[in-house]
Amino acid sequence: MSSIQVESLGKCYALYSNPQQRLKRLIFGSPAQEQHWALKDLSFELDRGHCLGIIGDNGAGKSTLLKLLAGSIQPTQGQIKRKGRVTAILELGAGFHPDFTGRENLIFAASFIGYKEEELKILESEIIAFSELEDAIDRPIKTYSSGMVVRLAFALVTALQPEVLIIDEALAVGDQHFQKKCVNRIEAFRNNGCTILFCSHSLYHVRQLCDQVLWLDQGQMRGLGPMNEVISAYETHVRLKDNAGALAQDQPQVDAPLKSHEPGSAQLVSAKVKGINAGTRGVLNDKDVCITLTAISPGTDPPSMGFMLEQFQGVGIMSMATHAEGVLPKATSTQDGWTNWSVTLTLTDLPLHSGAYVLSFYLFDSQGLVIFDEWKDHIVFDWVSASLTPGLVRLPHEWS
């Protein structure tokens, strides 16, 4: 049974060169000088209990599609059929009034998203507890940080089990601890048969949560189907764009700069490859490649640590993570509530042919649901193989 049916959906915006042109249209009905189709001729169905990932470049029409599905804007053409209670997580906290308290905003906002008064009375304490704002709930919203606002909004929007859940980049809310709570709640909805539309630039989370993927490109459908199939095609598209942009660059960046972190967050500390000095593009020709990754996190719950090996400006070759392999990083020391972690990955008898390769590193929560930290394209190295035959890898084989 379909939860959502989209037929020939399109959304067009009128463009004006100046305010006077807009005024003429309002008064005299003059046609717009230009039109922009944010979406055009889009059709698909989503069955109950399925999770559809929506991917694409910036400006592809992803947010427009979600707003249409949520009913916050109306289509120019086509139609949408929905079945069941629809909950949308779009612009969290956009409707809160800064002078109202958190509790008053709960009452005010709940009425707009379809809560009945008796429902809110039952759920109010649970919403406040999930948001972890018990000490601030009776303060005006204008005294909240942006993270506190989105925590309250997420807790409110997801307090009731929806039949259809629409999510637009909601996994960026709050700190690492709250992000994990958000992912766990979304996972619980999916496991309970909720139909989910999930839009994100994080292909990792799309892989974790979705079974089907819709790829939008300049407002039109570029691909729709099984998750691995569509993401693979999209990643090829992204690599081709990146390679075209890299033609003007002389050399790859070695040891990419590290991003800053908020205080109290888990983070990667170092990544080392045996035989390569930090900050240099090394050459490896040993039989094995030995990589050591270290991290630090609050508490004693072991995180998951991940590795990705790719051909430089080429295809991905392999990725591994400790949670997927049933491996626990080693706790090397604990001090003042923080634990240092370390894990070493040895790629034995590396079957790659000679070429340039790049390593990326990741830090996840213990279940691999939340990305705490990532060092993309952090170490570039040249691998020298004894084999002179062309190709990427030496596959196990037999002659007869």
By DSSP bridging, strand 86-89 and strand 220-226 are: unpaired
Answer whether 186's CB lies under 8 Å from 167's CB: yes
Measure the CA–CA gap between 206 and 53, rounded to whole angstroms. 6
pLDDT at 18 over 90: no
Average pLDDT score over the chain: 85
pLDDT at 321 over 50: yes
Choose the weakest-confidence range: 21-25, 143-147, 289-293, 351-355.
21-25
- 342, β-bridge pairs: 294, 330
What six digits make up the tokens of 328? 């626990």
User: Phi and psi for 22 in degrees, rounded to 5?
Assistant: -65, -40
Task: Find, among 279, 274, 337, 267, the residue nearest to 303 by Cα.
Answer: 267
Residue predicted with more confidence, 362 or 287: 362
Region 270-281 average pLDDT: 85
What six digits make up the tokens of 131? 């948001």
pLDDT at 112 over 80: no
332: left (phi over 0), alpha (psi -120 to 50) or beta: alpha
DSSP 271-325: EEETT--TTS-EEE-SSSEEEEEEEEEESS---EEEEEEEETTS-EEEEEEHHHH
Q: What percent of the chain has pLDDT over 70?
A: 89
Q: What is the pLDDT of residue 292?
A: 96
Measure the CA–CA gap between 189 and 49, rounded to whole angstroms. 9
pLDDT digits over 137-153, tens only?
999 999 998 888 888 98
Q: What is the pLDDT of residue 251?
A: 47
Q: What is the pLDDT of residue 248?
A: 44
User: What is the Rg, in whole angstroms, of the alpha carbon atoms belonging to the chain?
Assistant: 25
Domains and CATH numbers, the chain: 2-237 (3.40.50.300), 267-383 (2.70.50.60)
Give the pLDDT band (50/70/90) at residue 288: confident
Answer whether 196's CB lies under 8 Å from 167's CB: yes
Choose the weakest-confidence range: 1-10, 21-30, 95-104, 304-313.
21-30
Helix (H) / strand (E) containing 104: helix 102-112
Query: pTM score, two decimals?
Result: 0.76
Residue predicted with more confidence, 74 or 119: 74
Q: What is the pLDDT of residue 30?
A: 62
Give the pLDDT band (50/70/90) at residue 173: low
Q: What is the pLDDT of residue 383?
A: 85
Answer whether 362's CB lies under 8 Å from 320's CB: no
Measure the CA–CA gap between 166 and 70, rounded to whole angstroms. 7
Measure the CA–CA gap between 218 and 11, rounded to whole angstroms. 12
pLDDT digits over 175-184, tens only?
788 888 888 8
Give the pLDDT band (50/70/90) at residue 187: confident
Choose the weakest-confidence range: 94-108, 237-251, 284-298, 348-362.
237-251
Choose the weakest-confidence range: 119-123, 143-147, 189-193, 251-255.
251-255
Answer whether 365's CB lies under 8 Å from 372's CB: yes
Measure the CA–CA gap between 400 and 94, rounded to whole angstroms. 68
pLDDT at 50 over 60: yes
Measure the CA–CA gap between 90 and 105, rounded to whole angstroms. 17
Measure the CA–CA gap between 58 and 369, rounded to whole angstroms. 24
pLDDT digits over 231-267, tens only?
888 887 887 776 665 544 544 445 544 555 556 689 9
- Neighbouring CB atoms inside 10 A of 301's CB total 10
Answer whether 88's CB lies under 8 Å from 156's CB: no
Helix (H) / strand (E) containing 184: helix 176-191
User: Phi and psi for 387 in degrees, rounded to 5?
Assistant: -80, 140
pLDDT digits over 200-234, tens only?
888 888 988 899 999 999 999 999 999 988 988 88
